[in-house]
Amino acid sequence: MTDDTASDRIATLDIVRGVAVMGILVMNIAGFAMPYPAYANPAAYGGDSGLDFASWLFNFLIFDGKMRGLFSILFGASTLLVIERATAARRATVADRTGASAHYARMVVLLGFGLAHFYFIWFGDVLALYALCGMLLYFFRNKSPRALVRWAVAFLSLSIIYFGLIGLTGALAGNPGLAPGAAANLEESRRTIDVEFGASSPKIPADLALYRSDYATIVDSRLNGRRYEPFLSLFGLGFETLGLMFLGMAMFKSGFLTGAWDQPRYRRWAIRCAEIALPPLAFLAWWQASADFDSVRVFLAFLALSVPFDVLLAVGWAAAIIWWVKSGALPALKARVAAAGQMAFTNYLATSLIMTSIFYGYGLNLFGDVSRAGLWLFVLGMWALILAWSKPWLDRFAYGPLEWLWRSLSRLKLQPLRKV
C-alpha cells in the first residue's frame, strides 16, 4: 500500500501490489465467512473433504502466508520509496517536510485507519500492525541490502522460535513425567491452542452467534472485549512482519522490485523458489491431515514451520509477476492489475466492507453458510470488481479515494484529486 504520487510511479511495484491485494483475499475469505478456527484448520468448519479439502490444500500451498508475506514485503519497499522521495524533495527545496516527518505523518494516519478498520469493520486488520512496524522502519532506511537481509533473517527467526516454543509447550501437555506445576502450565497452553485452532473450539458456536447478530453487538465485542488487540499484535506478529518489511527494503534497494534485473533472472528465481518451497509445504499439509488436523500441528505448521517456505514462495511470486511484466504478454490485463495495485489501500478496505456486508448478520447474513470451496465464487467476484473499477477511476483521478484521503490527512492539506 502507498499514497505515493501518481506521477513517476514504478510499474512493477504497482503490478505486484495489485496481485497481492487480490491474492490476500484468498486467505482472508475464511476469516470473513467462517468462525476463526476455520482460518487455518479445515476440520474446524467449512469442510475438510473433497473439493473443500482440495481448496484448503491449494490455499495452504500457494496463497496462505505467501500473500501476507508479499503484502508486507511491498509495504517495506513502498515505505522506503516514500522516505527517499521526501528526502530528495527536501534537498531540492521543493518540499518543506523531511523524510522523517513525511514518514511518521503517514504512519500515524495509517494507524488511525487501521484502528477504525479493526473496531468498526473487520477484526482481521493488518493496517494498525503495519503502521506500528512502519514506525521502526525509518531507523533502517540507510542499511545496505545485505544488512537488511541479515536483519530480516534475524527477525523471522525470532518469530519462528517464539511460535515454535508455544507449539512445543502444547505438544508436551499430558506427558506423565512432568512435575505438577509444569503440567498445569502446559495444559493451559494446550487449551489456548485448542481454542484458537481446534476443530472443537468453543469459538465456533460463539463466532456463529456473534457474526450473525447486528452491527452494534459486533462492534461492542471489539471495543470492549478486544480493545487492545491491535497493539498487542505487535508482540506476536511484529517480528515476522518487520522481517518481511526489511526484506522488501532490501529487494527494493537491490533493484529486484523495480524490475532492474533481466527477465531470465526473474524466471530462474521464480522456478528455484517454487522448487525449494513447495515440497516442504506439501509435507506439512500431509503432516496436518495425517493427524486429523490436531490443533497443535495446525498451530505449528501455520505460524512456525511453514514460515521459511512461505517467505521463499512470496519472493518467488514477486519474481514470477515481474517476469510476466517484462514478457510483454497481456498488456491490457497488466494495466488493470497495475491500477488495482495503485489503489491497493482503497481496494483492501473496500474488500472488507463488501465481504462483511455479505457475510455478517447486518448484511446478507451468510456467515457460516458457504463451504470452503464455495467461497471461491466470492473471491472471483471481488477480483472482477477490483479489476473492473480501479482503472476507470484512475483514468479520471490521480489517486484512489482512500489514497487521496490518506495523503491529504498526512499533509494536513487537501490534495488535488481530479486529473488535469
> What is the per-residue pLDDT across 206-234, written as a single tens digit (0 to 9) for each?
999 999 999 999 999 999 999 999 999 99
Cα separation values, 319 from 15, 65, 343, Å: 12, 17, 21
Averaged pLDDT for residues 165-191 = 80
> For 272, how many CA atoms within 13 A lie in the half-sphere containing its CB?
8
The answer to whether 324 and 18 have CB atoms below 8 angstroms apart is no
Binning pLDDT at 50, 70 and 90, where does residue 9 land?
low
**What does the alpha-carbon distance between residue 8 and residue 13 come to, in Å, rounded to a whole number?**
12
Number of Cβ within 10 Å of residue 325's Cβ equals 22
Q: Indicate whether 8 pLDDT > 50.
A: no
Cα distances (angstroms) measured from residue 199 to each of 140, 203, 286, 292: 42, 10, 17, 9
Categorise residue 3: left if φ over 0, alpha if ψ from -120 to 50, beta otherwise. alpha
- Looking at beta carbons, which pairs linking 282-288 to residues 24 or more positions away fall under 8 Å? 282/61, 284/60, 285/57, 285/60, 285/61
Is 92 buried (19+), middle (13-18) or exposed (0-12) by CB count in 10 A? Answer: exposed
Q: Answer yes or no: are the C-beta atoms of 211 and 369 closer than 8 Å.
A: no
Whole-model pTM over 0.85: yes
pLDDT at 6 > cutoff 50: no
Strands (E), 301-404: none
Residue 262 has pLDDT above 60, yes or no: yes
pLDDT, position 276: 98
Q: CA neighbours within 13 Å on the CB side: how many for 14? A: 24
Which three-class secondary structure state does DSSP give residue 147?
helix
Q: Which residue has the cell 500473500?
A: 67
- Confidence band of 177 (pLDDT split at 50, 70, 90): low
d(CA 197, CA 16): 31
Task: Give the model confidence (pLDDT) of 349-364 as tens digits.
Answer: 999 999 999 999 999 9
Which residue ranges make up each domain of the chain? Answer: 11-411
Whole-number pLDDT of residue 178: 63
- Measure Cα distances from 67 to 47, 60, 73, 197, 224 in Å: 23, 11, 10, 21, 31
**Distance, CA of 252 to chain centre:** 19
Ramachandran region, residue 329 (left: φ > 0; alpha: ψ -120 to 50; beta: rest): beta
Q: Flag whether pLDDT at 45 surpasses 90.
A: yes
Biggest CA pair distance of the chain: 75
C-alpha distances out from residue 90 to 65, 98, 101, Å: 38, 6, 11
Q: What CA–CA distance (Å, rounded) separates 172 from 183?
A: 9
Per-residue pLDDT band at 172 (split at 50, 70, 90): confident
Report yes or no: 23 and 70 within 8 Å, Cβ to Cβ.
Answer: yes
Average pLDDT, rounded, for the chain: 93
What is the rounded CA–CA span in Å between residue 123 and residue 31? 9
pLDDT at residue 315, as a whole number: 98
Whether the predicted pLDDT of 89 surpasses 80: no
* Mean pLDDT within 39-67: 95
In tens, the pLDDT along 372-398 reads: 999 999 999 999 999 999 999 999 999
Sequence-distant (6+) residues with CB within 8 A of 227 are none
pLDDT of res. 91: 58
